[in-house]
Structure 1
Amino acid sequence: MIARDDDATEALATAATAALHDAANAFDGAAALARMLGAHRRGALCEVGFWAPELLERRVPDGDVFLEVLTPEAPLSLVTSRQMARFRRTLAPVARVEAFCFTAVEGMTPGTRETVGSFYALAWRDAEGAWRRILDPLAASLPFGAFAPAEYYDVASMQATRGDRAYFAALRDASPGGADPVKLGPAANILQVHAPTATAGMTLASLARHIDMLADRVRRGVELAPADRVFLGYEAVQLLPVEPTTVYEAGPAFWSEIESGGDDALSVDLRRPDTTNWGYDVVIAGAAAVNPALLETGRPDELIDLAVALHNFPGAPKRLIFDVVFGHADNQGLDALNSHYFAGPNMYGQNMNYRNPVVRAIMLEMQRRKVDYGADGVRVDGAQDFKWWDSDAQTLRHDDHYLQAMADVVQEVAGVRYRPWFIFEDGRPWPQEDWELSSSYRAVIENQRDDDVFQWGPLTFAHNTPFLYTFWLSKWWRIREMLDVGENWISGVANHDTLRRGTQINPKLNINTRLGETRMEILDKAYDNAAVQMLTYAALPGVPMDFLNATARASWGFIRNQDDRWGVKIVAEEAISLKWQVDEYSYSRPGAFRRLKDLGFETRDQLARFFDFLPALVDVTGYDLEIIAKLLNDVDPPLEGPSPYDTTLLKRVARAWMDDMHDYCNVSGYLEHLGEAQTAMMLSLREFRLARPWLRRNLRAGEYFDYRRPVQGAVVITGYRRSPDDREEVLTVVHLEGDSTGAFDPAHLCPPAVAGASVDAWRVRLRSPQIGADYEGGELVLHDGMGVVLTRG
């Protein structure tokens, strides 16, 4: 039986009152209260807290506010696509302290890996007798998404059984002076991963199993295949966001109440969440939980399992980095959170109200709870979007104090207190028109207290197109900055944003056709380029990051299948990626683009002709779907494929494109095509960097980096680095674009001022795949994308 414990409830109310009255300021009080919000297990009791200022605004009396507990009458299965479930509904009175509601109840079932727990929400009755709900934004488990009642989950038990406790104990033991909390520094390099397209299983559980399989192969010393190598040689894995994202705008909902059996029973049509998203379309609510669409079992334990698999990797543990999105909320967030969370609309949806002390405290508490899954680092998306309105100056200001507060949050995992490594994506003054020129990419680095704060560097930010002629020389001024101040930048040209932007470029521009015979090959080689990677890993400062879909030469794009209103427009903007990423053979393969084929687009050419018209019609009609459909029906000669077009059919085509592209981008479909030489060289290059952590630092006096002058039709760059103890020198010579060079000896490019010992002392350590394994030095001819790394000492 569900029953309120009056004494425990009163104790919660007393503690909340003390937090409000005794705190030094409003934020400190809110921070103390934020720790109490959500559902927490205290022995046999469940203590629950909500922030509900809307109840005060609506003048809802105490007698109309309750904790609603929904207990399944039969065991639920979270691995079933759809089910009808009946819940016993119990209402427990709450104690109210200003805008906060608290209660402690016994009888609720805590969720575990094996058991689905009780569901809950804050329920209130309006003046007409209708029941309304306030959902828990700080929930630990959301099996049916952020727009459904939360599951009461036993987080403490989940943490107590994690299998990487020794890893965290080792962090504490290795901390200088026994620091508490331990401060974690930067990784040597990063693999960026979108979990739903990283494995055929498309879940965090399947990714964890894949990491365990790789660990077993490494442990047994078996010969590595190309498919293994693209995951190895990294010190850290950074996941694209794993927070709950938007849901289907036009339905179906994952939690649909179809029948009420009075006040004590409820029947619900439950659907397993199956949205696809690249991760950045968040609603903020539920940010402390895991996106249920990524969970094979519906249990948040899967995220800890992944952390454990990485931390226990043989040889050297791999770190886990979370990518968090708190700079904006999709407009759907308005249906999940009260109005106090928002500061007004922006290009993504809604600005967050960072100046409200309770909102500020809750968002930092969401972050703390999420990172407590065991992340070693945190990447903050869109840090330039954290702004507030200065009414005195009548201007928007960047909230650098909030960014510092994010970096100051102390985590506790397996009894070890620590502060993670922080990375910020911040392109301020973006979206100012001249942001690419005026952004220093150092605003957060220069404002934060820690000396190991990182930002995404200029070649890692969006709008980088290394497959266009003159790209490298046009970015030379940025490369020079990397040499001088780049040691706290994330480097590399391939990530989720740059690869996506690359597929949106008009293929009629000045494309570097020397990279490949087809557009697909050009794109693949531009973002998985031996010469560029040699530059990044053997010559440039900073921390290199690779995107799995780029190194696996898998496709990638904007993936989001929830839109109803804007879905057709989004697909029109993405349509050009068909020209870059899909050829006739890829489209014709059995199982590929099956939804579009079922609609009638039997060939790529049929789809391509439709996509030739769609973007123009979206533009000229002002996105009027009815007019677009009419004009498509009037095309002469008629379009092949589905017909006649109407608003509904256009939306079906848009949804089919998104779902088919999600499948098409899955890395598992590309691994069998990876080359032996390319993957072996790239792995060796990553291991080369891991063995030389000093390469992360800015260039020192006596080191050298420049391109050949005169250019003579080819961008040939030489980088010379020397270890701080002067025991080793590294010489990197790469050809980035242009005509082939004449025959020359790369060792002779070592600057005379630092040449030192005989040229014959240089040893070839790494060669691009086009250079034969028998090359041990001397003259050679370099073509686009080729390079060598030599060492001496």
Structure 2
Amino acid sequence: MDTTQECRLLDEQTADLLAWHDDVRESHEDDFEAAKELATRLGAHVTETEDGEVAAAVGFWTPDLVEAGVPETDVYLEVLTSTTPVDLAAEETTAEFQRERVPLRRKGEFHWGVVAGMRAGTRDVVGSLYQLVYEDDDGWHAVPDPLAYSVPFGAFAPAEFYDMERLDDERPDRAYFETLGTDEERVETTEHDGLPRVSPANSMLEIHPGTATESGSLKGLAERYEDIGGKLHRGDELDPADRNFVGYDGIQLMPVEPITENPDIHDFWRPAGDSSSSNDPTPVGTADDDPETVEVTVSHPDMINWGYDIVVSAFSAVNPAILETGRPDELVDFIAACHAMPDPIRVVFDVALGHADNGGLNTLPSPFFEGPGMYGQHLNYPHPTVRAMLLEMQRRKMDFGADGIRVDGAQDFTYYDPGLDENVHDDAFLAEMDAVTQEVAGTEYRPWMVFEDGRPWPREDWELAATYRSLIEQHPHSFQWSPITFAHNTPALLTFWATKWWRVREVLDFGGHWLTGVANHDTIRRGTQIDPHVEFNQSPVNPYLGESLPNVLDEAYDNAAAAMFFYCASPGVPMDFVHANARAPWGFVRDTDETWNVKVVSDESSFVDWQLRPEEFHDPEHFTRVKGLGFEDEEQLGTFMNALSAAVDATDYDLDAMAEMLSALDTPFTGEDGTGGPTATDLEAFAYAWMQDVHDFANLAHWADDQDEERTAFRLRTRRFRHERPWLREDVSESEFFTYRHPTDGTVLYFGLRESPDGDEQLLFAANMEGVPVDVSPESLDVPDLPRDGWTVALAAPSLDVEAGEETTADDPVTLTNATAVVWTREP
């Protein structure tokens, strides 16, 4: 496979690049505007020599090198081109690379160069790997490319020179984008600059790629949608598990950015003789400048994470842990599979740029960081170049072909204002995010914009004070997550639907630009963290939802009443979580480092109560690592988890002190001398084993055969009911009606009347959101001026003694048991 060529700097083209840099600086008085243009050419881009040879135009922002006084002559682009095959899917393999160092040219705080001889990566070819290296008094150091397009071995290893133009040219859904501007169903409006904006979805499904399929990859997810799409095109019956994935015209992927790595465990790029951790980017080989062959042991990244622990560096690439083939093409293939469905599905990227994991300190220039924050490191948003690079990262990632963007935790985009002596929300930066346009298959467009913003969270009174409308008011085309969707909702507790009525009322009155629904990655995690043994003055677990805690949790986040409320009555865009649809377990999996992992796992102490049935623990497939540590049953495991959580609180998270406290407990751990309790090392080993086991336990492939035929069929009918009535997204008007029955008398009964804008259909809704059975009929519902005749049952929860299509008189009763609902329709 030795197809390498000698790498060399192209002096004339590099001079042109430096001249362009000067022109940009001179043409902008504003540093931020100049930085935005400069950022477009940072990273490595495919270009050509005058002879048609492939070359790479590269650029790095290097303020730390300039400040440290590193001479220009000591800065190089290190290029590593494989001379033997590299199996990116292999668990571990050793490959040979030709290593070359090419000098770069400095201009201000930047290093630029056009380099010939680098191999461009494609779907079938592993491209040259590269990183910036420099020498100082302490030896040689490496700087990763923060704007890389491909990082097959993670954000802490050299990036891959990748042909993104080829990827765009060959994408299977080019026609989808080429016709975007003329498709009225997919375009909401044309902006003043003539660009189309993607219209909102009617409903959304949130998916975690790492656990959605057996392979835990984007390739596996693409194949799943290709298979389902084929069945729908042919008119074949869907399997119950298939139904959990369809009936939506929008999918929100949890973050697909490269994530942090556990430096004590992960090491996916190991040059011969290098003993450094994977969180410490290092040069490869010796310090001389001559070409040489080096051996590197590489492995497919197997990080376990829910996706939000990003290092920001290489944000524009795809997380290699969810790439089965190691090729970023998998993300395009998944998007294309969604666009090829009989009813095309919009794909929304979940963008988490509100913080960086501490691992980012080793991969980004120091001006990126303002200091420690709630989630690791707070980013320095006011810095012009940082600001520009973050926006460029967003643009490049979205150019993989996303229809929409969901900005995670927009309330976290803040900076310190010395004049006010407080942190303020950087709404100007959020406006810049909103202004970024995409270009895919030659079509420039604006994506559907969705913000998660619960400001003033985490202020103590945030739950009362948050309006969830700050960004909608600034950007009327945008959407926000609703108060019923934000992270801290717990419908497994009794009286949830009564005490949350004030927020539900807001959804009805002005929720047309909100995402709604109680099931998402965060709410289920919060539900799992509820202490099931509550004090007297706390809301108890809802006994009407099930006889066991796992059954209660399943029903809380997936029941007919809630689904029918959000899809058949509520304004906004309903959103579900695929794990809730499947009634599959979901937990807080975020392996960052051995020490911090213990704290993360201690927060999950109630997982055993809420998510783990005895028969599931004893299944040989599940919790193999925890069993290998000596835990024989779920009761013993639960006792240890609860004690671990208590020890965290009692010791202020001192691992040694925690281990000493837990030595009084009967545990499988025997200590260093074989007689005592656990050590700090034992706790770290337990935490890592737990995360791996929960990650495997949550994989939907385990639960595919357990899907209920009737339940999944009915949920799909409910979603299709919404899609046939897109007008339901609009706010409840003055001519419509919605309320709850009070006094409740043991049942939280929601009911109301909605009417199509053209007056062709009236819709009457009634739901027992929680409580004892209650009889309802059109006549018994206190709806003003409600017509008596002509009502037909349009949807009814499967357990009810009435079926869709039945004509009914105004006083025919329907008995609604807990978490069931009925919808009648009539034509005026």
**Same-fold call, TM > 0.5?**
yes
Q: Does 1:39 align with 2:53?
A: no
SS in 1 for 2:784: helix
Q: Does 1:548 align with 2:578?
A: yes
CA contact (8 A) 2:800 2:815 kept: no
CA contact (8 A) 2:228 2:238 kept: no
Equivalent residue letter for 1:85: A
Q: Does 1:747 align with 2:747?
A: no
1:158 maps to which of 140, 151, 167: 167
- 5 Å-filtered alignment, 1:179-258, equals 180-258=194-272
1:589 maps to which of 615, 619, 631: 619
Match of 1:456 in 2: 481
Match of 1:290 in 2: 318
Shift of 1:631: 3.0
Equivalent residue letter for 1:673: D
Q: Does 1:409 align with 2:436?
A: yes
SS in 1 for 2:424: strand
Equivalent residue letter for 1:39: A
* d(CA) in 1 for partners of 2:75, 2:349: 36
- 5 Å-filtered alignment, 1:526-605, equals 526-605=556-635
TM-score in terms of structure 2 length: 0.93
1:398 maps to which of 422, 425, 436: 425
Equivalent residue letter for 1:209: E
- Structure 2, unmatched stretches of 5+, are 1-5, 49-53, 274-284, 535-539, 672-676
Match of 1:77 in 2: 87
* d(CA) in 2 for partners of 1:146, 1:297: 17
- 5 Å-filtered alignment, 1:362-761, equals 362-448=389-475, 451-509=476-534, 510-635=540-665, 638-640=666-668, 644-741=677-774, 743-744=775-776, 746-749=777-780, 751-756=782-787, 758-759=788-789, 761=790
Q: Does 1:144 align with 2:171?
A: no
Match of 1:173 in 2: 182
SS in 2 for 1:487: coil
* d(CA) in 2 for partners of 1:594, 1:156: 45
SS in 1 for 2:142: strand
Distance verdict in 2 for CA 1:168–1:551, change over 3 Å: same
SS in 1 for 2:78: strand
- CA offsets 1:131-172 (integer angstroms, 9 cap, x no match): 111110000000011111100000000110001111112212
Match of 1:343 in 2: 370
- CA offsets 1:693-739 (integer angstroms, 9 cap, x no match): 11001111121111112321111110210011111011110001112
* d(CA) in 2 for partners of 1:511, 1:338: 48
* d(CA) in 1 for partners of 2:802, 2:498: 30
Shift of 1:646: 1.4
- CA offsets 1:552-579 (integer angstroms, 9 cap, x no match): 1011111022321211121111111111
Distance verdict in 2 for CA 1:252–1:671, change over 3 Å: closer
Equivalent residue letter for 2:726: P
1:770 maps to which of 788, 799, 818: 799
Shift of 1:670: 1.6
Q: Does 1:104 align with 2:104?
A: no
Distance verdict in 2 for CA 1:641–1:602, change over 3 Å: farther
CA contact (8 A) 2:190 2:196 kept: no
* d(CA) in 2 for partners of 1:78, 1:177: 43
* d(CA) in 2 for partners of 1:774, 1:567: 50
Structure 1, 461-470 or 622-631: larger mean CA deviation: 622-631
* d(CA) in 2 for partners of 1:372, 1:5: 29
* d(CA) in 1 for partners of 2:190, 2:320: 41
CA contact (8 A) 1:329 1:351 kept: yes
Match of 1:66 in 2: 76
- CA offsets 1:307-357 (integer angstroms, 9 cap, x no match): 10001112x111100000111001111011111001111110111111111
Distance verdict in 2 for CA 1:774–1:721, change over 3 Å: closer
SS in 2 for 1:670: helix
SS in 1 for 2:595: coil
- CA offsets 1:460-497 (integer angstroms, 9 cap, x no match): 00111112111111111111111111101000011111
- CA offsets 1:665-702 (integer angstroms, 9 cap, x no match): 11121221121221111111100111111100111112
Shift of 1:618: 1.9
SS in 1 for 2:348: strand
Match of 1:120 in 2: 130
Equivalent residue letter for 2:561: A
CA contact (8 A) 2:594 2:687 kept: no
CA contact (8 A) 2:802 2:814 kept: no
* d(CA) in 1 for partners of 2:361, 2:9: 31
* d(CA) in 2 for partners of 1:388, 1:83: 45
- CA offsets 1:537-558 (integer angstroms, 9 cap, x no match): 1111110000000111011111
CA contact (8 A) 2:737 2:783 kept: no
* d(CA) in 2 for partners of 1:238, 1:321: 5
Equivalent residue letter for 1:719: G
Equivalent residue letter for 1:499: I
Equivalent residue letter for 2:720: E
SS in 1 for 2:96: strand
* d(CA) in 1 for partners of 2:338, 2:815: 41
CA contact (8 A) 1:5 1:105 kept: yes
TM-score in terms of structure 1 length: 0.97
Equivalent residue letter for 1:122: L
CA contact (8 A) 1:606 1:641 kept: no
Number of corresponding residues:
783
Give 4+ residue runs of structure 1 displaced > 6 Å after superposition: 176-179
Match of 1:23 in 2: 28
SS in 2 for 1:565: helix
- CA offsets 1:429-451 (integer angstroms, 9 cap, x no match): 11100000000000111122xx3
* d(CA) in 2 for partners of 1:137, 1:769: 52
Structure 1, 765-774 or 515-524: larger mean CA deviation: 765-774
Shift of 1:395: 2.1
- 5 Å-filtered alignment, 1:321-340, equals 321-340=348-367
* d(CA) in 1 for partners of 2:14, 2:88: 32
* d(CA) in 2 for partners of 1:707, 1:749: 13
Equivalent residue letter for 1:689: R
* d(CA) in 2 for partners of 1:25, 1:438: 37
CA contact (8 A) 1:568 1:650 kept: yes
* CA RMSD across the alignment: 1.5
Shift of 1:583: 1.5
Match of 1:271 in 2: 299
